[in-house]
Amino acid sequence: MARYAAPVTAAPTPPPGGDPIAALANRPITRTEKGFGVRAARRPVTAAALAAERPAAVGGDLTMPLAVLRESALAHNVAAMADWCSRAGVRLAPHGKTTMAPQLFARQLAAGAWGITAATIGQAQVYRAFGIDRILIANELTDPAGIGWLAGEMTAHPGLDCYVYVDSVPGVRLLAAALAAAGATRPLPVLVELGFPGGRTGCRDTEQALAVAAAADRSGVLAVAGVAGYEGGIGSGPGQATLDAVADYCRRLAGLGQRLAADFPASPAGSGPIVSAGGSAYFDVVSRELTAAWPAAGPAPVVVLRSGCYLTHDHREYLDNGPDARGSGPGLEPAMEVWAAVLSRPEPGLALAGAGRRDLSFDKGLPIPLRVRRADGFEVQAGPMTVTRLDDQHAYLSIPAESDLAPGDLICLGISHPCTTFDKWRVIPAVDDEYRVIDAVHTFF
């Protein structure tokens, strides 16, 4: 009978030829990268060169619009979340799809992250290219080509520790057949996913999940390693009814984990099953319920959170609705901003800034004006100013008719939901508290 796959310590392993993450410091930043065109046309630009020179991010030769990452907030968030998880008794496998930035993955792993979560084989391939050795693919796999790649990667690299989801008997059969056809040489650990009515993937009830686990156990090429789910689609808003529904779901997930632990016990040298949930909005509830719901007898589960947005936090979605808003989070700080130039004042109460849907997230709320930088470099709070709409390259700003906001002024915009801002930038400057560039983060979407 297949056993739970015992988690082992994992960290980035540099492939032959050197450390690809360290090599990003000298990766050329060309004139085709947003914000860097003027500087790159004059001289070679790399993250290392920027760190040595420390140019101004705003008011210099970097062009607008420009996304930036505030280093002090990044460092705070990495440390605060690691400490919070340690105190809560849970592991963290941050979802890499948020940033797709190997430089940031390395910081998360160095701070104690258990692994990095992916949603697709394509993301996992990026992780492997940068030496990530533990990957939780939080999704079902049904693409034979992708499954074949994973089988080959596991055969070629015995230290690779990878987990995937299953939620149906046909899906188990497809996954097992593709692994066998690719010549898999060791079992692939799987997590049985529990969903909920109206949600996305996942078994809809415990009996279905048990049947899926049994099919995986019989396959010969899969090993039942635990359970997983995603609570982020439950309810609407931050109200108590939603929190109660999330808690109830987590208790059902833990109950499924307990059933599977009894039916597919861990080896004596291993741990209890993996139990994974916890997006960025409710990881406090998830941690509380999954650690409390487990019986004292038997091996303790490995509770793995998959929160990704904690790294940069934001100025709206998670600020207003996440664990910190409930007083039960790590105390995160917004780390990402987008700066844009005022282009026009066509009407007394209207201004247009040069940043839009190509530059900013808008799926969970429009950007929030934070500060205005005048042409002389003096900064003031944005005051009563609101982004009311975005075009591809324009932000519509509702402002007081008497405002002295003028073309050429720069607006600092806070963002909501960092996932869909990161994917609009291939290189993002990291800045110190004086907005001097001290690094450049490369993304691989």
C-alpha Rg value of the chain to the nearest Å: 23
- pLDDT given at position 266: 55
In terms of DSSP bridges, do strands 222-228 and 188-193 run parallel, antiparallel, or are they unpaired? parallel
Query: Do 239 and 191 form a contact (C-beta atoms < 8 A)?
Result: no
d(CA 386, CA 374) in angstroms, rounded, equals: 18
Model confidence pLDDT, tens digit, residues 262-320: 888 754 345 789 999 988 999 999 999 999 977 776 778 999 999 999 999 999 999 99
Q: What pLDDT shows up at residue 3?
A: 42
CA distance 97 to 123: 7
Rounded to the nearest 10 degrees, the angle between the axes of helix 144-156 and helix 121-129 is 30
Helix (H) or strand (E) holding 197: none
Give the model confidence (pLDDT) of 228-253 as tens digits. Answer: 999 999 976 678 999 999 999 999 99
What is the C-alpha separation between 15 and 157, in angstroms, rounded? 10
Q: Which of 304, 348, 300 is nearest to 138 (CA)?
A: 304
- The CA distance from 84 to 323, in Å, is 11
Confidence of residue 17 (pLDDT cuts 50, 70, 90): low
**DSSP per-residue letters across 279-325:** -SSSHHHHHHHHHHSS-SSSPPPEEEE---GGGT--SSHHHHHSGGG
Q: How confident is the model at residue 15 (pLDDT cuts 50, 70, 90)?
A: low
Ordered domains of the chain (ranges, CATH): 73-312 (3.20.20.10)
How much is the pLDDT for 395? 98
Please give the mean pLDDT across all residues of the chain.
Answer: 94
- pLDDT of 255 over the 50 cut: yes
Mean pLDDT of 221-231: 97
Report CA-CA distances (Å) from 190 to 90, 216, 251, 254.
20, 8, 20, 16
Which of 262, 136, 267 lies closest to 190, judged by CA? 136
Give the pLDDT score at 356. 98
